[in-house]
Amino acid sequence: MVLIRSNAVTVWGGFLCLTALLLFPSGCATLNPGAQKSTPVIHPDSSLDPVSSSYSPDFTTDDEEASETNTGENLENRSVDTLVGSLSTRMLVEEARELACTGALQYKEGNLEGAQSNLDAAVLNLQLADLPDYMQSIGFFQPYLPSECASVDLQKAYESILAMKPDDPVPSENIPDAGDAFKPADRAFIEMEIVRLMELLGENSSREDELDVFTSEVTDFINYFLTTKREWFERSYYRMMKYRDTVDTIMSEKRLPSELSYLAFIESGYMYQATSRSQARGIWQFIRSTGRNYGLKIGTGVDERLDPIKSTIAAREYLLDLISIFGSQSFLLAMASYNAGEGRVQRCLRDLDNPFEDRSFWQIRDCLRQETQEYIPRIIAAAIVCENPKRFGLNVMSRQEITSNYDIVVCPQRVRLSSVAQAAGIDLKILRELNPDLPSGGSWTPVYNTHLYIPHGSLDAVLNALEQMEKAPEPTFSGDYHVVRSGESLYSIGKRHRIPYKRLADWNNIPPPYKIKPGQRIYLQPHTTTASASAGPENSTICTDSLVYVVQKGNYLAGIGAMFGVTARDIMKINNLKRGIIYPGQRLVICPAHRVEIIKHRVTTGETAIAIAGFYGMQADDILFANGLTERDTLHVGQVLTIYRKK
């Protein structure tokens, strides 16, 4: 049998390492010279992507390999002391095995939600155990499962669960007609609630015929929630009530209606671990680019989309931007754009006879795809039922009854669940029963700012005890910088984060031979201060390193902002735009949040957008967008493309 050396060492080293962790308190360390230590996750979640254990080709050059050798940082030269794990590492791995087995058994029973929670918690433990990256995949754990659960292929089971979205939109033809499910008085109540909610959301321009059709659609969704999706709806209701006060407070700070909380209800069912097929995550279902554009750190060891407080603040700012872009007080337009994308809504608005007066959801509804047309009635239906659960026969407590029977504690740090239970004066089992969305075998609160139901009257005791509680291991990577650990080199840090080590040296002013020391911060992007368009009116006319961007066909403000790390409102402010309407050929002043390299690329024979993007280390979509092209357009030899690359 012929094996590539790196793969062979990885596999056998992993078996020996994990076996040592399970059998001996002294633990182990990486036995793969090419593998680096893992980075713990700040915001774990039960839809955490499994880390592949397959071999990945190195992106570095021979010169860089030689440099690592010259710096003498190979693992073979390190002392034994740097390769020894701790007792806490062993305990985390043992717990991960138990969680994986529990998840496997739940998968066999068809309890996919429980299986996902436990498998996610197992992956989290492997990451917190400070194991090498190639050992953090749930599938790597397969040989160590107890016999009763070893028949389940963990990797395949986990991937099949992650491939599912908690509540994919259901096509309208599959939504049963409510028929006679509601009495005339109930239908009249539903219509009255629709009108009330529409006014709160800034949309009162519907005609009577539109309202009749919309009322029928909302009624059908209410019936659907009360029948086919009743179990899911009731679970989501209780999850939402844990976050409702937090969301209401954050929205009210900018005078946004609290009813926007029902957008997250439909997006995720308030499952902090929700992950869609497009890799949108968290209760507000942010994709990576939008999350980063609104201040959420997303990268190795951190994903603030899973933090319910930070993600809610980001969602609020995004909705405010959408309102600014469309120049309308209609939050229905903003909500439709949240689902369809602002570019699609802007194109629909341009097609109106009078786009400056008829800026409402009703005027563009037929222009939107079916999923988005149904998105708004789903949200309104959820709002009506959640605010009137008893009227519609739900076997749940009202919001007032919940606050009378339970307190809700927010845990800013990740702490042991057993410590929370002890402070609240209850058994851990009862804490889990009050919070069934917790991983059934996990030891820690799953994310920063975890919200927990606790018995009424115990809030002060828990809050007083939080500061003294044991905290989960902290990551060494914040999303912006990496904290050097013993035995690490600049080369190994660059390899972990896929950044050439010489570029890291340049960004951090580290001269050859690139010596670093434990505890030192290594910034993973240029560490410079750039003036921001949002700094205030006095800075809104000029900024450091400003550039002029010429609007291309198909561009929209948020998309342009994403290229330069700013928001649509930033661009509107610096260019004195009253509305979010832009047109091809328009020149916009941009104050990028990072240094930008402008490249003119002339297309040669056989080149494609994907090939060009790969050459510059970018995404093809970004290059196409910046040049007014789509994936259907053909590149021509001699065509000049403008590329905006982050330095």
Distance (Å) of CA 526 to CA 251, 493, 508: 33, 16, 8
What is the CATH classification number for the domain harbouring 442?
3.10.350
Q: Dump pLDDT digits (tens) for 309-338.
A: 999 999 999 998 888 877 667 888 889 989
Strand partners, 411: 450
Residues 517 and 547 placed together within one structural domain of the fold:
no
Mean pLDDT to the nearest integer, 153-159: 81
Classified as helix, coil or strand, 235 is helix
What is the CATH classification number for the domain harbouring 345?
1.10.530.10
Query: 37, 78 in Cβ contact below 8 A?
Result: no
Q: What is the DSSP string of 413-465?
A: S-BBHHHHHHHHTS-HHHHHHH-TTS-TT-SB-SSTTEEEEEETT-HHHHHHH
Q: Does the pLDDT at position 391 exceed 70?
A: yes
Residues 513 and 416 placed together within one structural domain of the fold:
no
Q: Dump pLDDT digits (tens) for 570-591.
A: 888 888 787 777 878 888 888 8
Q: What is the pLDDT of residue 15?
A: 47
Most confident of 235-249, 363-377, 513-527, 588-602: 235-249
Segment (H or E) for 9: helix 5-23
Classified as helix, coil or strand, 599 is strand
Displacement of CA 229 from its chain's centroid (Å): 25
pLDDT bracket for residue 525 (50, 70, 90): low
What is the CATH classification number for the domain harbouring 634?
3.10.350.10
Query: 552, 519 in Cβ contact below 8 A?
Result: no
Residues 183 and 152 placed together within one structural domain of the fold:
no
Domain limit, last residue, from 127, 162, 197: 162
Tell me how far apart the alpha carbons of residues 424 and 299 are, in angstroms, rounded to a whole number. 35
- Is 99 within a domain? yes
Pick from 526, 532, 607: which is nearest to 571 by CA?
532
| Inter-axis angle of helices 261-268 and 308-326, nearest 10 | 110
Tell me how far apart the alpha carbons of residues 82 and 486 are, in angstroms, rounded to a whole number. 7
Q: What is the pLDDT of residue 387?
A: 92
Residues 55 and 99 placed together within one structural domain of the fold:
yes
Query: 153, 104 in Cβ contact below 8 A?
Result: no
Pick from 517, 535, 420: which is nearest to 470 by CA?
420
Domain limit, last residue, from 112, 132, 162: 162
| Three-state SS annotation for 384-418 | HHHHCCCCCCCCCCCHHHHHHHEEEEEECCCEEHH
Tell me how far apart the alpha carbons of residues 234 and 222 are, in angstroms, rounded to a whole number. 13
Q: Dump pLDDT digits (tens) for 6-54.
A: 333 344 445 445 555 554 444 444 333 333 333 333 233 333 232 223 3
Pick from 372, 461, 371, 464: which is nearest to 425 by CA?
461
Lowest model confidence (mean pLDDT) among 46-55, 97-106, 166-175, 425-434:
46-55
Residues 514 and 633 placed together within one structural domain of the fold:
no
Tell me how far apart the alpha carbons of residues 119 and 153 are, in angstroms, rounded to a whole number. 12
Residues 131 and 197 placed together within one structural domain of the fold:
no
Q: What is the pLDDT of residue 471?
A: 81
Q: What is the pLDDT of residue 449?
A: 92
Contacts of 578 (CB under 8 A, 6+ apart): 327, 572
429 is written with which tokens? 């089992």
Q: What is the pLDDT of residue 58?
A: 31
Tell me how far apart the alpha carbons of residues 402 and 355 are, in angstroms, rounded to a whole number. 45
Q: Dump pLDDT digits (tens) for 481-499.
A: 788 888 888 888 887 776 7
Q: Which residue has the higher pLDDT, 25 or 456?
A: 456
Residues 51 and 148 placed together within one structural domain of the fold:
yes
Residues 60 and 116 placed together within one structural domain of the fold:
yes
Q: What is the pLDDT of residue 122?
A: 81
Domain limit, last residue, from 117, 142, 162: 162
Q: What is the pLDDT of residue 81?
A: 31
- Is 402 within a domain? no
- Measured from the Cβ of residue 545, the count of other Cβ atoms closer than 10 Å reads 13
Q: In this structure, which amino acid lies at residue 153?
A: D
Q: What is the pTM of this model?
A: 0.58
Contacts of 147 (CB under 8 A, 6+ apart): none
Mean pLDDT to the nearest integer, 522-547: 49
| Three-state SS annotation for 28-79 | CCCCCCCCCECCCCCCCCCCCCCCCCCCCCCCCCHHHHHHHHHHCCCHHHCC
Q: What is the pLDDT of residue 425?
A: 94
Q: Does the pLDDT at position 302 exceed 80?
A: no
- Is 138 within a domain? yes
Q: What is the pLDDT of residue 19?
A: 53
Which domain, by its residues, includes 436? 407-465
- Is 17 within a domain? yes
Pick from 253, 37, 240: which is nearest to 135 by CA?
37
| Three-state SS annotation for 249-264 | HHHHCCCCCHHHHHHH
Q: What is the pLDDT of residue 289?
A: 81
- Is 470 within a domain? no
Q: Is residue 644 classed exposed, middle or buried when 0-12, 13-18 and 19+ CB atoms within 10 A define those classes?
A: buried
Q: What sign does the CA torsion over 427, 429, 433, 435 have?
A: positive
Q: Is 449 left (phi over 0), alpha (psi -120 to 50) or beta?
A: left
Residues 460 and 412 placed together within one structural domain of the fold:
yes
Mean pLDDT to the nearest integer, 520-528: 68
Q: Dump pLDDT digits (tens) for 606-642.
A: 888 888 988 888 888 889 999 999 888 889 888 989 9
pLDDT bracket for residue 405 (50, 70, 90): very high
pLDDT bracket for residue 522 (50, 70, 90): confident
Most confident of 33-47, 165-179, 203-217: 203-217
- Is 301 within a domain? yes
Q: What is the pLDDT of residue 79?
A: 31
Q: What is the pLDDT of residue 583?
A: 79
Q: What is the pLDDT of residue 615?
A: 87
Tell me how far apart the alpha carbons of residues 298 and 306 are, in angstroms, rounded to a whole number. 10
Q: Does the pLDDT at position 426 exceed 90?
A: yes
pLDDT bracket for residue 456 (50, 70, 90): very high
- Is 456 within a domain? yes
Residues 236 and 320 placed together within one structural domain of the fold:
yes
Overall size of the chain counted in residues: 647
Query: 429, 420 in Cβ contact below 8 A?
Result: no
Mean pLDDT to the nearest integer, 512-533: 67
Strand partners, 302: 299
Residues 156 and 176 placed together within one structural domain of the fold:
no
Q: Does the pLDDT at position 130 exceed 50?
A: yes
Mean pLDDT to the nearest integer, 337-351: 84
- Is 395 within a domain? no
Q: Dump pLDDT digits (tens) for 54-104.
A: 322 232 333 333 333 333 333 333 332 332 234 466 777 888 888 888 888
pLDDT bracket for residue 423 (50, 70, 90): very high
Mean pLDDT to the nearest integer, 458-472: 89
pLDDT bracket for residue 455 (50, 70, 90): very high
State the average pLDDT for the chain. 76
Pick from 280, 311, 275: which is nearest to 295 by CA?
311
Q: Which residue has the higher pLDDT, 564 or 205?
A: 564
Total number of domains constituting the chain: 5
Tell me how far apart the alpha carbons of residues 358 and 20 are, in angstroms, rounded to a whole number. 69
Classified as helix, coil or strand, 327 is coil
Mean pLDDT to the nearest integer, 105-134: 74
Residues 360 and 434 placed together within one structural domain of the fold:
no
